[in-house]
Structure 1
Amino acid sequence: MEIDITSNPGTVFAAVGGEEPIRRLVHLFYQGVAEDPLLRAMYPEEDLGPAEERMALFLIQFWGGPRSYSERRGHPRLRLRHAPFRVDRAAHDAWLHHMRTALDALHLPPPIEQELWNSLTTTAAAMINTPEDPA
């Protein structure tokens, strides 16, 4: 994959090559979600397409691209938007598993891949809203 950082230099969005690779990442991620009983249950919509679009727009903006997500949906408020769902360690791990699989499929240069992974793992940890039961 050829990386072009001329459109918005210095951003992760530019480093990955813009919108298309981020949309591909999200699409591959949702292919995994569709087959995962734990995560799939968090999506009441029969079609995952709207959720895929929301995540793509969010990541595009989060990583330095156009602000289409905020223009359409307002402030991301990730924790608030995830509050109705039980996001525990199992959900966190499943989410990261599917994201890791999707990220690996992009075959990005290692420094860019690591930057994305660091961002995704930090965000996933912040979404946990259900503590583990004490043993």
Structure 2
Amino acid sequence: MGRRPPPSLYEVVGGTSFFTRLVDLFYAGVEHDPVLRPLYPDDLGPPRHRLAGFLSQYWGGPADYSAERGHPQLRMRHAPFPVGTAERDAWLGRMRAALAVVLPDGDSDDEPDAVPADVPADVPPGLDDATRTRLRATLTEYFETAADHLVNRREPA
């Protein structure tokens, strides 16, 4: 009999609910961020839905994002928004803070107020410390690479 492929990251973290939670925490920070908030529409519902769907699909979940929006084409979709190093760094800070809540490792150096204090943690069940740390590193590396790729405005040297 053939070997079953290893589970996708999507499966390991518990599916769409993990990515929805991550995105909700991320946007809770964006809501009051002076650098990021002006880049988003008044209603953050549609961007939340798109980001959660994209991340779910990217990490092995259903292809709902592509069914709704077509090919992700991240750079093209973000081209209308001025993304420089300040925006990239703010975005990464908010995403790292959200990751620290959903995949805590006990050694987080993220700002304590990066995610509102009244937002409870919702860690996927059954993940040991080593697995959470590995998942967090994998997701962080992806977000750093993606954020760098989306920079479309270079500041003068």
- Percent of pairs with identical residues: 46
- Bigger CA radius of gyration: 2
Distance 1:129 1:57 in 2: 24
Q: Which has the higher helix share?
A: 1
CA RMSD of aligned residues (A): 1.3
Q: Flag structure 1 segments of 5+ consecutive residues without an equivalent.
A: 1-7
Which letter does structure 2 place at the counterpart of 1:122? Answer: T
Superposed CA offset, 1:3-44 (max 9, x none): xxxxx843111121211111100000001111112111111x
1:99 — aligned with what? 95
Which letter does structure 2 place at the counterpart of 1:125? Answer: D
Q: What displacement does 1:82 show? A: 0.6
Does residue 125 (structure 1) correspond to residue 122 (structure 2)? The answer is no
Superposed CA offset, 1:55-111 (max 9, x none): 000000111110000000001111011101110000000000000110000135111
Which letter does structure 2 place at the counterpart of 1:105? Answer: V
Q: How many residues align?
A: 126
1:12 — aligned with what? 9
Which letter does structure 1 place at the counterpart of 2:94? Answer: H
Distance 2:10 2:141 in 1: 15
Within 5 A, what are the aligned runs for 1:79-94?
A: 79-94=75-90
Distance 1:62 1:128 in 2: 20
Distance 1:79 1:53 in 2: 18
Q: What displacement does 1:132 show? A: 1.8
1:38 — aligned with what? 35
Query: In structure 2, the residue corresponding to 1:36 is in which secondary structure?
Result: coil
Q: Flag structure 2 segments of 5+ consecutive residues without an equivalent.
A: 105-131
Within 5 A, what are the aligned runs for 1:5-84?
A: 9-43=6-40, 45-84=41-80
1:5 — aligned with what? none
Query: In structure 2, the residue corresponding to 1:79 is in which secondary structure?
Result: helix
Which letter does structure 2 place at the counterpart of 1:132? Answer: E
Is the CA contact (8 Å cut-off) linking 1:15 and 1:112 kept in structure 2? no
Give the TM-score of the pair, scaled to structure 2: 0.77
